[in-house]
Amino acid sequence: MQSQWLEQYADPKHRKMLFPNGPAAVGTIFLDFLAQNGELQTGKTLVDLGCGNGRNAFPLAKLGFNVMGVDGIPQAINDANEKNQSETLSEKLSFVLQDLAESTWNIESDQFDYAIDINTFSSLDRRTQRNYRNELKRILHTGSLYFLYTYTVKDEYYRQFVTNDTADDGQPGTKIVCADDQVTRILYSRDELVTFFSPTFELVYEEEKIRYGKMFDEYYKRNFQVLIFKNN
Ligand SMILES: C[S@@+](CC[C@H](N)C(=O)[O-])C[C@H]1O[C@@H](n2cnc3c(N)ncnc32)[C@H](O)[C@@H]1O
């Protein structure tokens, strides 16, 4: 994984912004979707890809999911494991150190009902994104759901880092290097994301989210895409 992630986690100011403690509000879209489709049942298995400090994994385990949080930052996994020991959730919750760039993830095949990714996918390089798609399919059951929440190419904060050098490399998506955190990201449009995950995954829900958010003392119009796919 990009070493910059380790530096961001170690830096208190960046950690506070990139790894907040409260759960992502967007999670309610996924829970509402499950409820409306009669899928909100306890004991379902869920993997959180790029779980960071576990801010989404903990509340999901409290709701009754059996959750595995996966991330490539050793300190983030240690912090999440420590918190888990003090919260008596350990039977329902585990955290695993895993670099998603590795061609085979150290995770058993065909074991999850759901996968969620909250702002991880965009910071994987293209090769890793293709590998991620294959590994994601491998670890899900047929018919499982995958919830993706990601910045898009319309995002005002990230757009300022588009340059002629990085944007047009002849492939889908726009590559940027964020000057604030030095993380390289590939930002896609909604259509590019849907094309990327089809036909392996079938789109079953989508929603564009726009909100104003503060990044390094300035407000930006943030643009996100929610996509829920079914593993066919
Ligand atoms: C913006 S943070 C989001 C964290 C979490 N999903 C949340 O909502 O707070 C992106 C996460 O992706 C993880 N990540 C990025 N590249 C990764 C890789 N190659 N392998 C594993 N994790 C990775 C980072 O360590 C980080 O925790």
Residue type at 164 in one-letter notation: N
| Ligand 1, atom 13: closest residue by C-alpha | 50
Report the distance separating Cα 56 and Cα 21, nearest Å: 9
Distance from the Cα of residue 146 to its chain's centroid: 10
| Percent of the chain clearing pLDDT 90 (strictly above) | 79
Query: Which H or E element spans position 124?
Result: none
Q: How far is the CA of 70 from the centre of ligand 1 (A)?
A: 9
CATH number of 4-151+189-231: 3.40.50.150
If one residue of 9, 47, 55, 71 were mutated to test the ligand 1 pocket, choosing by the most ligand atoms within 8 A of its CB, it would be 71
Q: 86 pLDDT exceeds 60? A: yes
How many CA atoms within 13 Å lie on the side-chain side of 30? 27
| Domains in the chain: boundaries | 4-151+189-231
**Amino acid 169: pLDDT:** 66
For 165-215, the pLDDT digits (tens) are: 665 567 889 999 999 889 999 999 999 999 999 988 999 999 999 999 988
| pTM (predicted TM-score) | 0.95
- Assess whether the previous peptide bond of 59 is cis (omega < 30° from 0): no
Contact indicator for 45, 69 with CB cutoff of 8 Å: no
CB distance 77 to 86 below 8 Å: no
pLDDT in tens, 40-69: 999 999 999 999 999 999 999 999 999 999
- Find the Cα–Cα–Cα–Cα dihedral 60, 66, 70, 74, rounded to 10°: 90
